[in-house]
Amino acid sequence: MDFAAEQLKTALATLPMRERRALELQSQGRSLADIAAALQVSRSTAARLVSSARQKLNARLKAAARADKWRNVLAGGKALDTSRADDSEPSGPDLGAERNQ
């Protein structure tokens, strides 16, 4: 199992049972009305369960990705930061002068 799949499995396991079940039903293409009926809750509660599960899952996966990135950096690997493409290479007055010589 690769790292991403392992993190997803771990994150899913931390969700409360009703939220996890609501998310599973949604991933099967079920409507909110179907999810509500299956969980024996109102449609608005089903929507809240799905939304809450997605938010928690997203937060946990982002945190796991950040932790993995830092493990890589601390182990001597290069950090990949696509959010700031202009900072992808070191720059500055001293570094630029070394490259030109």
pLDDT at 68: 77
Specify if 37 maps to a domain. Answer: yes
**Residue span of the structural domain in which 7 resides:** 3-79
Specify if 32 maps to a domain. Answer: yes
Low pLDDT (below 70) residues in the chain: 1, 77-101
Specify if 92 maps to a domain. Answer: no
> How far apart (Å, rounded) are the C-alpha atoms in residues 31 and 96?
57
Q: At what angle do helices 17-27 and 43-74 cross, to 10 degrees?
A: 90
Q: How big is the CA angle at 75 (ends 74 and 81), to the nearest 5 degrees? A: 60
pLDDT at 70: 78
pTM of the model: 0.64
pLDDT at 86: 46
CATH code: domain of residue 67 = 1.10.10.10
- The DSSP letter of residue 87 is G
Per residue in 12-36, pLDDT (tens digit) is 888 999 999 999 999 999 999 999 9
14 contacts 60 by C-beta, under 8 angstroms: yes
Q: For the chain, what is the domain count? A: 1
Specify if 93 maps to a domain. Answer: no
